[in-house]
Structure 1
Amino acid sequence: MLAEPRSGRLAAWGNALLAGFVAPDDAVQAVVGEDSVHRVEGIPGEPGPIGLTLALGRLRALGVTGLRVALPVPGHPLGLSGPAEFNTAALAAGEAVLCQGAALGLVPEVVEAGPRGDVHVEVVWRCAPVREAPPADVPSLSEAERELAEALREATALLSRLDLAGSGPVAQAAADAYRVRAEGGRELLAPGYPPRAVRVLELAQRVGLLVSVADEYASEHRTGGAVSAAEWAARSGALRPVERTARRAQVAAYNAYVEAGEGKGNR
């Protein structure tokens, strides 16, 4: 949850590009990030993979007016609309981007190459047809913000009861990583997004941090024999609704640009 999904970067900066808030080169640079290269394969009319800059232009020509994010997990097809073939690919990747204005979606395929310590990451976005239907289980920004406030309270209380709040090397490392990202002035969302979306995304990441701390800390202690299988199951079960809320809010934040265009941004 701490890691920014590639689908989030593509949707956010793709939306900024489609709206004219950023130049193509700036948008692509932001999407690629620390990866070596991104390509898109399967765009209608293109015989093979093409670069991301050209691909975004082709999507615009095909009628795409916005990009949405999906972050599905088994049992929760969050943000997806079908068909089954696309949902299966998105579920395997854990993320996808759906195009507004054209019945197309993109799923990333990530390939790592090179020796340890000098790994190059290449991403191929597989473009395929999707069903034009409302995305599954995506809340509005206002709903997500309300749910996150409660989830943050629940997660903090739960971790305190389990003696997992802020103790141990895993917790400290996770907290340090979050502070570095927050203090580094990282732009959470691309230009054109409402401030509320930024607040919701930041809060979702904070909730995700707590879930990650609990999972990793409990995993370490389970390996050492300090946490029984029953205790592990109880802790994981208690945190799953919190993690689900954080993922829903993350999708709502990334999708806020499209929702605002449809007059749904403040529902």
Structure 2
Amino acid sequence: MLSEPRSGRLAAWGNALLAGQVSPDDAALAIVGDDAVHRVEGLPGEAGPVGLTLALGRLRALGVTGFRVALPVPGHPLGLSGPPEFNARALDAEEAVVSSGAPYGLVPEVFEAGPPGDVRVEVVWRSLPVREAPPADVPSLGEAERELAEALREATTALARLDVAGAGPVAEAAVDAYRARAERERDVLAPGYPPRAVRVLELAQRVGLLVSVAYEHGPSGAVSASEIAARGEVLRPVERVARRAQVAAYNAYVEEAGRDRR
């Protein structure tokens, strides 16, 4: 939850490219991020894998007008619309990009190679047909913002009772690392997104931090099975709310563009 999903980067910067806010090369660089290379495989009209710049141009030529994000997990097909083959691949990856305007979806496959400290990450995006239908369980920005604020209050109170919040120096180091990264990466979303989407995504990331710290750095000493279960009962709904908010933020460009066209 702390790291930006690759599908989020592709959707956000792909939307900025479609809107004429950034150049194809700048969009591709932002999507790749710290990875070594990204390719797209299975695009209509292409015999093999192609680079991101060519792939985004091809998708635009095929009629794509925007990109949405899906962040599904077992039991929660968040952002998906079918068909089953695409949904199954997206569920395995726990993320995907779904095009608007043309029935294409992209699912990342991540490959790592190299020794520790010098790992090379390559990503292949598989292009598959998708069903043109409303995505599953995606809230509006307003709903997501309200849900996040409520979930954060409830989770903080419950975790304090379980002696999980403020879990010592390791947790503090995680928080400090997140803050340092946030200062380096002030562009939370690509150009062209509404300010409310940026605010919702930032809050979702902070809630995700709370979830990660609580899962990974609980109270010191032995933790019983009942304590682990109690922590999970508190965190699972919060994690769900944060994922829904992330998707709402990334999808805000397509939703606003749709309202403008009506």
Fold conserved between structures, TM > 0.5: yes
Structure 2: runs of 5+ lacking an equivalent: none
Q: Distance in 2 between matches of 1:81 and 1:73?
A: 14
Query: Which shows bigger deviation, 193-202 or 169-178?
Result: 169-178
Equivalent residue in structure 2 for 1:237, among 228, 233, 236: 233
RMSD over equivalenced CA pairs, Å = 1.2
**TM-score if structure 2 supplies the norm length?**
0.96
Give the drift of 1:185: 4.3
Give per-residue Cα distances to partners, 1:175-206, cap 9 Å, x unaligned. 01211022224310000000000000000001
* Residues 10-69 of structure 1: per-residue CA shift (max 9 Å, x gap): 000000000100011111000000000000000011111000000000000000000000
SS of residue paired to 2:59: helix
Match of 1:260 in 2: 256
Give CA-to-partner distance per residue, 1:93-132, whole Å, 9 cap, x none.
Answer: 0100000011110000000011111111000000000111
In the alignment, the residues of structure 1 paired with residue 185 and residue 103 of structure 2 have an alpha-carbon distance, to the nearest angstrom, of 36
Distance in 1 between the 2:43 and 2:175 partners?
41
Partner of 2:244: 248
Residue-by-residue CA offset, 1:60-98 (whole Å, 9 max, x unaligned): 000000000000000000000011111110011010000
- 1:192-203 equivalences under 5 Å are 192-203=192-203
Counting aligned pairs with the same residue, the percent is 78
Count of residue pairs the alignment pairs up:
260
Matches within 5 A, 1:60-209: 60-209=60-209
The answer for unaligned runs of 5 or more in structure 1 is: none
How far residue 169 of structure 1 moved from its aligned partner, in angstroms, is: 3.1
Amino acid in the other structure paired with 2:246: Q
How much has 1:173 moved relative to structure 2? 2.1
Aligned residue for 2:80, secondary structure, equals coil
- Structure 1 contact 17–27 (Cα < 8 Å) conserved: yes
Q: Is the 8 A contact 2:68 2:251 kept in 1?
A: yes
TM-score, normalized by length of structure 1? 0.95
